[in-house]
Amino acid sequence: MSATAPAYTIPRRSVVGEEAEWCKMFDPPTDSPATPELLAPTNPVPAFIAANVPGAKNTVPNTIRRDLMHGTDLTMYDGKKVRFFTFSDPDVPATGGGVWPGPTIRAPRGVVFHGESSAGGPPPHTIHWHGIEPTPMNDGVGHCSMEIGSYTYQFQPNFIGTYFYHCHRNTMQHFEFGLYGMLLVEPPDAFSGAPAVAGGYPRRTAANLANFPQFPGFVAGDLAGGDPHAYTVPYAAEALWVLDDVDSVWRDKMANAKATFPSHGLLNPGVDDQFFKGDFHDFNPDYFFVTGVPFPAPVGSTVSCAPNVVVPAHLNSGVTGMQVSVNAQVNQTVLVRVLNASYVTIRVRFPVDVVIIAFDGRALGVPPFAQYNHAFLLPAGTSYELSTARRFDVLMRSSTPVNSFATVEFRHNQKNDSLLLNGLIPVTIS
Amino acid sequence: MKRRDFLKYGAGSMAALVVGSEMPWLMESRAYAAFQTPTLDLTMTDAMKEMVTHNPTNDARCYFWIYKSNTPNLLPECPGPTIFTTEGDIVTITLRNALDEPHAFYIPGIFDSKAIAPGATATFRFRALRAGTYLYYDNLNAPVNRVMGLHGALVVMPSAAHTGHKITPYTVPSPAVQQLFDDFGSSSHWPGLSWEQGDPGSDTPAFRQYVWVCHQASPVLFSEVGNYTPGADYPAAQFINYFMNDAYADTFNTGVFNRKPHFFTISGQSGHFVHNNPYLCPNHRVGEPALVRVLNAGLYTHSMHIHANHVFVTAINGVSQPNPLWVDTMTLHPLDVWDWTVPFMRPPDVPNVRGIGRADTPLTTISGHPAWPPLEELETFFPPVGTLSGGLVGVDISVQLSPLCYPMHDHSETSQGAQGGNYNCGLISGIVFTGDRNTPGGVTTFPNAPAEHGPEGTGPAAG
């Protein structure tokens, strides 16, 4: 027995009769359709941004806009220039050239959300709202509906929590090259207060903390009966940890977004299709980040990101004060939202006890699903592992000062979880 | 679907062997081409497989070692056949080793054949006592023999429900998992059928379940193993090192691949052949909860992301979860086996009256229709009807957005291509909503919902 004389051959599957589905899988049609089942949007946040972010406007009422994509060369800590693909918000001039990560979208639960997307230049794009579960056209996956010239995505974000949006075209390249941003769903009244309240802290998020009385202000209440604060807890400070990595060889050698796109056959789909060979199966990251802030050291290092990084309001739906590194006061409730946007596995550990209150935009233990799971304690120094695209939300609150770091281990998911980098994120509670 | 049709579809790869107690629910399910067999009769042999993603001049092939069923005589495939049995049943298995080295058949915690010499045949009996999902594989020269393709899935079904409860997939369900399965079909938030319930009138099988055996295939390395000195084991440490750390090769400019894997499969198929295959892609109505059993036979960790419904992780490596998380993405380590329980609830962010993620009365659109079911969207075609692939002589490649189609994919996206590119020809499946049991007026079936189909034919066409 050998590879040159095997006992059997396993022949290719035919696509006869399925040419349409076959072609669409790798070469989805581009289109600019009207939104089906169109509703009037009710999202108050675009007007809030226009009123509170200098220079911003609200072109389409109640509608968030995103333009993709922009190519941007960013300089790494060691001076190397690396190509990124980015989103901009056409209504916020400060994002005009595209920013990475994309501007954070905040939306109240239960609104009719419209996201107007425009895409310039080849290749086509989509926006997928990861964790949001609408109809297929609004899910933004090319082969399940269409890729966009321009399109208004419509959904109603119905679970409070942490989500993100990203281009779902040639995702192995476009997501790795930076075409993503955060999408945070907040309680229904998050933007109904005065600007100073709606644009700052404290804010609330979903949780069931019946077993964790150390977090004051938790409200049980009647979600089904319309209580906007039912099963939410207030937090005084918020940190966003989006962990990412970069393979600079990919960026150098495969910056052409179309190079490895197959195309379906001119005459006989499934027969004279055009396929190409590339390098996207071989991923070797060499730069690491948290929310766009570098861990400035090579593979194998233990290194801190910069302290005192605050996300500006124009990149955060007009909300001022969201942090990357944590600065808080004793006995303040701090919400940390963690997303693994890298292609490897991360292990996160905190310098203090934290309570994990949600995964993937589903708060643990919230009725009527309360009997299936519950929030739980992650003791100080204990790792929790997240593979790509997983999120969790944790609450921390310390009655004593802390001057330490959280640690994020990047571990290669294709190399036996071997350690790539220890990233340290400052946590200061005073 | 008639029994005769099962046999036809059994000619394809997704054949299931049912050994021991009868499983009429499975035999009648269109999700499997199932064969009742008194004993397992497997040969350990090899095959050259034509892989996804190619045109006529593209030599996309990979060599595998496989478990092949002799009786019934199933076509060769990697992975081996999915084996169903019932907790407590005694399974008789005959193993023939047609390869050049010692090989084995191993199920963690259940059975170990130990080494079977080249050319030898041996018969064993084992009994699975705990219901759940298992990976069977050759544990010799680990991980080489397993990763070369000697693996498959064993599903052990429960024999009965616990008194006063509905059936779960587990012998000892955690209280939370038992509650979840009790609530399907019996609570206001999970209206429809329970897992154990089918509905012949709407062509709905009971115990809806799917098996995804994930794998990474390296044509260069696997051929190197296949052509190694007959009778000698390929060094396992070298195999691992090449699989994970082989020197970067600039395939894009040269077409020369290194020894890292560049085909990624779910139950032996990639891209279209998983996503549009009703044996592999869960396809049910709202209100028809289903189980997806996910296994990793390879050496890479995947991050499986499903669209349209968050899913409950109800078991991990044989343990019914005391705190089953409700997630859209889950980590799948090498050798991991876990179960996703898919509620098949209405995609909860479709606009409705209360906006709390329930199957409420849908909002009314500007054009005066309910937003759910999304009739305008269901009637849309992309590209438009009449779009011909090759001008006047081509075939119509329009696709209707009905039933509602969503993907499931590895979000560690390097596994989503084939041959280092060709996005969407890798580790991807899907979830399809074929209707809704809970619409006003009763059970709705969306246009074009498949009663049965599948890319079962083979031939010279690429694909």
B416 phi and psi angles, rounded to 5 deg: -95, 0
* A108 vs B contacts (CB less than 8 Å): none
| B416 belongs to a structural domain | no
The least confident of A1-5, B104-108, B194-198 is A1-5
B441 reaches A (C-beta below 8 A):
no
Q: Which of B272, B407, B461 is opposite residue A16, by nearest beta carbon?
A: B461
What is the rounded distance in angstroms from the CA atom of residue A377 to the CA atom of residue B287?
34
- Model confidence pLDDT, tens digit, residues B326-364: 999 999 999 999 999 999 999 999 999 999 999 999 999
Nearest residue of B to residue A19, measured between CA atoms: B397
CATH of the domain at B135: 2.60.40.420
What is the reported pLDDT for A333? 98
Distances (CA, A) of A118 to A115, A133, A150, A309, B311: 10, 21, 4, 31, 32
Cβ separation B422–A262 shorter than 8 A: yes
Rounded average pLDDT per 10-residue block, chain A, 430 residues: 91 82 90 96 98 97 95 96 96 95 98 93 85 98 93 98 94 93 98 93 98 97 95 98 97 80 76 83 97 98 97 98 98 98 98 98 97 98 98 98 98 97 98
What is the reported pLDDT for B6? 33
**Two tokens at B360?**
């409420």
Cβ separation B457–A223 shorter than 8 A: no
DSSP assignment, residue B202? G
Cβ separation A282–B222 shorter than 8 A: no
What is the rounded distance in angstroms from the CA atom of residue A173 to the CA atom of residue B413?
8
Count CB pairs under 8 A between chains A and B: 441
Q: Residue B202's CB: how many other CB atoms inside 10 A?
A: 16
What is the rounded distance in angstroms from the CA atom of residue B9 to the CA atom of residue B14?
8
* B184 vs A contacts (CB less than 8 Å): none
What is the rounded distance in angstroms from the CA atom of residue B370 to the CA atom of residue B347?
15
Whether B456 shows a pLDDT value over 50: the answer reads: no
Q: Which of B251, B371, B422 is opposite residue A39, by nearest beta carbon?
A: B371
Confidence band for B54, pLDDT divided at 50, 70 and 90: low
**Structural domains counted in chain B:** 1
**Two tokens at A117?**
């997307």
| B391 belongs to a structural domain | no
**Two tokens at B290?**
């289903």
What is the rounded distance in angstroms from the CA atom of residue A411 to the CA atom of residue A288?
11
Residue A261: left if φ>0, alpha if ψ -120 to 50, beta else—which one?
beta
Whether B9 shows a pLDDT value over 90: the answer reads: no
CA distance A403 to chain B (A): 32
Confidence band for B382, pLDDT divided at 50, 70 and 90: very high
Q: What share of chain A is helix, strand, coil (3-state, %, to 5)?
A: 10, 35, 55
Q: Residue A266's CB: how many other CB atoms inside 10 A?
A: 14
In the stretch 181-220 of chain B, residues with CB closer than 8 A to chain A read 183, 187-189
Q: What is the pTM of this model?
A: 0.96
ipTM of the complex: 0.97
Domains of chain A by residue range: 19-186, 237-247+283-429
Nearest residue of B to residue A413, measured between CA atoms: B301
Nearest residue of B to residue A187, measured between CA atoms: B356
- Give the burial class of A298: count Cβ atoms within 10 A of its Cβ; 0-12 exposed, 13-18 middle, 19 or more buried: middle
Whether B461 shows a pLDDT value over 50: the answer reads: no
| CATH superfamily assigned to domain A19-186 | Cupredoxins -  blue copper proteins (2.60.40.420)
What is the reported pLDDT for B57? 67
* Residue of A257, A258, A262 whose CA lies nearest to A24: A262
Nearest residue of A to residue B363, measured between CA atoms: A39
A172 reaches B (C-beta below 8 A):
yes
3-state secondary structure of B4: helix
**Two tokens at B230?**
């007959």
What is the reported pLDDT for B252? 82
Q: Residue B451's CB: how many other CB atoms inside 10 A?
A: 10
What is the rounded distance in angstroms from the CA atom of residue A143 to the CA atom of residue A24?
5
What is the rounded distance in angstroms from the CA atom of residue B386 to the CA atom of residue B313?
43
- Decide: A26 and B424 in contact? Cβ < 8 Å: yes
User: Token pair 């049995």 is at which residue?
Assistant: B85
Alpha helix ranges (H) inside B246-289: 251-254, 272-275
- Decide: A346 and A386 in contact? Cβ < 8 Å: yes
CA distance A362 to chain B (A): 7
Radius of gyration of the CA atoms of chain B, in A: 22
| B117 belongs to a structural domain | yes
Peptide bond into B261 cis (omega under 30): no
In the stretch 321-380 of chain B, residues with CB closer than 8 A to chain A read 323-332, 347-352, 354-358, 363, 365-367, 369, 371-372, 374-377, 380
**Two tokens at A72?**
């941007």
The least confident of B84-98, B109-123, B442-456 is B442-456
Bridge partner residues of A147 (DSSP): A30
DSSP strand pairing (B283-286 vs B428-439): parallel
What is the rounded distance in angstroms from the CA atom of residue B354 to the CA atom of residue B362?
9
3-state secondary structure of A173: helix
- Model confidence pLDDT, tens digit, residues B260-306: 999 999 999 999 989 988 888 999 999 999 999 999 999 999 999 99
Angle B236-245/B219-226 helices, nearest 10 degrees? 160
- Give the burial class of B445: count Cβ atoms within 10 A of its Cβ; 0-12 exposed, 13-18 middle, 19 or more buried: middle
Q: Which structural domain range is residue B65 located in?
A: 3-342
* Residue of A253, A278, A257, A256 whose CA lies nearest to B251: A278
| B456 belongs to a structural domain | no
- For testing the chain A interface, which of B150, B250, B314, B329 should be mutated: the one with the most A CBs within 10 Å? B329
Distances (CA, A) of A206 to A158, A359, A390, B162, B180: 11, 11, 18, 34, 21
**DSSP states along A67-133:** EEEEEEEEE-TTS-EEEEEEEE-TT-GGGTT-BSSEEEEEEETTS-EEEEEEE-SSS-B--EEET--
Between A15 and B41, name the one with better pLDDT.
B41
What is the rounded distance in angstroms from the CA atom of residue B379 to the CA atom of residue B400?
7
DSSP assignment, residue A314? G
Bridge partner residues of A245 (DSSP): A288
What is the reported pLDDT for B32? 67
Whether B391 shows a pLDDT value over 70: the answer reads: no
- Decide: B69 and B41 in contact? Cβ < 8 Å: yes
- Decide: B369 and B376 in contact? Cβ < 8 Å: yes
CA distance B324 to chain A (A): 6
Distance of CA A171 to the CA centre of its chain: 13
Whether B12 shows a pLDDT value over 60: the answer reads: no
DSSP strand pairing (A334-340 vs A237-246): parallel
- Side-chain-side CA neighbours of A67 within 13 Å: the count stands at 15
| B88 belongs to a structural domain | yes
Percentage of the residues of chain B whose pLDDT score is greater than 70: 91
What is the rounded distance in angstroms from the CA atom of residue A111 to the CA atom of residue A154?
10
| B449 belongs to a structural domain | no
Between B461 and B163, name the one with better pLDDT.
B163
A76 reaches B (C-beta below 8 A):
no
* B366 vs A contacts (CB less than 8 Å): 38-40
Query: In whole numbers, what is the pLDDT of chain B averaged over residues?
Result: 91
DSSP strand pairing (B15-19 vs B82-86): parallel
In the stretch 197-236 of chain A, residues with CB closer than 8 A to chain B read 223-224, 226
B398 reaches A (C-beta below 8 A):
yes
* B393 vs A contacts (CB less than 8 Å): 267
CA distance A300 to chain B (A): 16
CATH architecture of the domain formed by A237-247+283-429: Sandwich (2.60)
What is the reported pLDDT for B234? 98
What is the rounded distance in angstroms from the CA atom of residue A338 to the CA atom of residue A389?
10
| B102 belongs to a structural domain | yes
Distances (CA, A) of B203 to B286, B346, B443, B446, B450: 14, 19, 11, 13, 10
B340 phi and psi angles, rounded to 5 deg: -100, 130
Bridge partner residues of A205 (DSSP): A233
The least confident of A82-86, A271-275, B119-123, B448-452 is B448-452
Q: Which of A249, A266, A388 is opposite residue B390, by nearest beta carbon?
A: A266
What is the reported pLDDT for B56? 66
**Identical fold, A19-186 and A237-247+283-429:** yes
Peptide bond into A69 cis (omega under 30): yes
Radius of gyration of the CA atoms of chain A, in A: 23
